[in-house]
């Protein structure tokens, strides 16, 4: 469903089994913000600097477990908090790495690394973080990545049946209202449109 050639990328927060909700944004309004404050497209950060020979765990060795989901493919990259890991903030305060607040801080301060990893792996799977347990908290996490958050009026414009404004989160839609007995073949989201989403964010309300 997602290919780098089409720039349709996914960022799942929990391994998806059950009910899904998702953000959809036209490519013309999606931007990433670099630490320097300038707006950057995903193409701009594909060559984000990494130390020669470094592995992903070199960046967050005491905070995160970073690996691939399957041994024979790089899709997706799995990012999980290490047990008992604590994140120290700039003000000296500490947060459990598995907390929602630590996840939001991780995303906000590492957007360039995240967008570069998306381009390399096609998808990122954030697993084991607590507090992402409602449409509103999911919207908060997606907003940390998609900054500034596109206007809520510029949301899903495709043809699939979806519900919007789930749980009071105005930018969250259900993944599909198609009956469960119908199959949905693999596809590129909204590929029939001139401006299709370069990034899609999924969250599983029911997972394992």
DSSP string, 97-130: TTSHHHHHHHHHH-HHHHHHHHHHHSBEEE-S-S
| Cα–Cα distance, 110 to 178 (Å, whole number) | 36
Per-residue pLDDT at 103 exceeds 70: yes
- The DSSP call for residue 80 is E
pLDDT at residue 131, rounded to an integer: 84
What is the band of 158 on the pLDDT scale with cuts at 50, 70, 90?
low
Calpha distance 197→202 (Å, rounded): 13
Quick one: DSSP state of residue 164? B
Dist. CA 98–CA 95, nearest whole Å: 8
pLDDT score recorded for residue 147: 64
pLDDT digits (tens, 9 = 90+) for 129-141: 888 888 888 888 8
């Amino acid at each position: 469903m997602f290919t780098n050639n089409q720039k349709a990328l996914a960022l799942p927060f929990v391994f998806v089994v059950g009910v899904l909700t998702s953000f959809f944004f036209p490519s013309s309004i999606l931007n990433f913000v670099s630490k320097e404050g300038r707006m950057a497209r995903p193409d701009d950060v594909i060559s984000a600097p990494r130390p020669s020979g470094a592995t992903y765990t070199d960046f967050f060795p005491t905070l995160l477990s970073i690996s691939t989901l399957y041994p024979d493919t790089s899709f997706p990259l799995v990012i999980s908090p290490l047990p008992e890991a604590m994140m120290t903030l700039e003000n000296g305060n500490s947060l459990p790495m598995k907390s929602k607040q630590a996840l939001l801080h991780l995303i906000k301060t590492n957007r360039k690394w995240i967008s570069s990893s998306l381009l390399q792996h096609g998808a990122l799977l954030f697993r084991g973080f607590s507090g992402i347990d409602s449409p509103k908290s999911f919207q908060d996490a997606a907003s940390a990545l998609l900054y500034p958050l596109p206007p809520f009026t510029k949301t899903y414009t495709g043809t699939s049946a979806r519900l919007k404004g789930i749980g009071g989160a105005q930018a969250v839609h259900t993944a599909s209202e198609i009956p469960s007995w119908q199959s949905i073949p693999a596809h590129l989201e909204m590929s029939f449109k001139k401006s299709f989403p370069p990034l899609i964010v999924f969250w599983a309300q029911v997972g394992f």
